[in-house]
Amino acid sequence: MKRKDLPLLILIFLVIGFVFSTSYSKSIDSSYSLVEINKNVISNKENFTKIMSVLTHERCLNCHPNDNIPKQGDDGHPHYFGMMRGKDDHGFEATKCSTCHQAENNKYSGVPGAPHWGLAPASMGWQGLTHKEIARSLIDKSKNGNRSHEDLVRHLTEDKLVLWAWEPGVDAEGNTRKVPPVSKEEFGTAVKQWFEDGAIIPEE
């Protein structure tokens, strides 16, 4: 090799080095983001599943009927005495939810209670819906009482009637009512995370 060819050779090596280094770093980048996306997809799905396991539990679903009839018990049977939604989701004109249900559980009668005890609006009738359908209805402002994501997070994690699901008291026989399958804290974390991640409804 002639001495005068040296700069040219160095230049060629530099160019090759540059091309290799950029393509290598690109492949690291894309594989890194794939892992990230996968992780996000998995955690989104987990959060969604946790949320749905609560929303479809009897403690919640019994007051989200799709036929204007409140439900009771772990078997979700129709509320005794022919009680129905009424005009304002709180029963009939004189015999209302609050005729029997007060703002707290009653351990003497076994009647459950929490503030503003009543049915969720008819537009939020979830009984018989799939998880996806429930989620779509949950985040649909035309159905959810015009609630933003922030409003929904607050509602799901702070509303006393929602939180009653984890403190449902005893029934008329003195037996403690069943609570949802995930804890209140776990549910709260899942709700916050799911909405933070954009409230994406996962594919089955």
In the list 72, 92, 197, 200, the residue contacting other proteins (rule: CB under 8 A) is 92
- Please work out the total of residues on this chain that contact other proteins, with binding judged by CB under 8 A: 23
Please select the residue that binds other proteins; options are 1, 4, 75, 81, rule is CB under 8 A: 81
80 part of the interface to other proteins, by CB under 8 A: yes
As measured in angstroms, the least distance from the Cβ of 169 to other proteins is 11
x/- string (CB under 8 A) for other proteins, residues 100-129? x-xxx-xxxxxx------------------
CB of 126 to other proteins, least distance (A): 25
Q: Is 33 exposed, middle or buried (0-12, 13-18, 19+ CB in 10 A)?
A: exposed
Q: How far does Cα 77 stand from its chain's mean position?
A: 24
Task: Give the whole-angstrom CA distance, residue 58 versus residue 71.
Answer: 9
Euclidean distance between CA atoms 179 and 194, whole angstroms: 22
Would you say 80 or 198 has its CB closer to other proteins?
80
Query: What spatial distance separates the first Cα and last Cα of the chain, rounded to whole Å?
Result: 65
Strand partners, 126: none
Residues within window 143-182 making contact with other proteins, judged by CB under 8 A: 172
Counting contacts by CB under 8 A, is residue 82 touching other proteins?
Answer: yes
Please say whether the beta carbons of 165 and 178 come within 8 A: no
d(CA 177, CA 59): 9
Which amino acid would we find at residue 162? V
Q: Choose, by CB under 8 A, the member of 38, 40, 95, 148 that binds other proteins.
A: 95
Contact positions toward other proteins, by CB under 8 A?
Answer: 80-84, 92-96, 98-100, 102-104, 106-111, 172
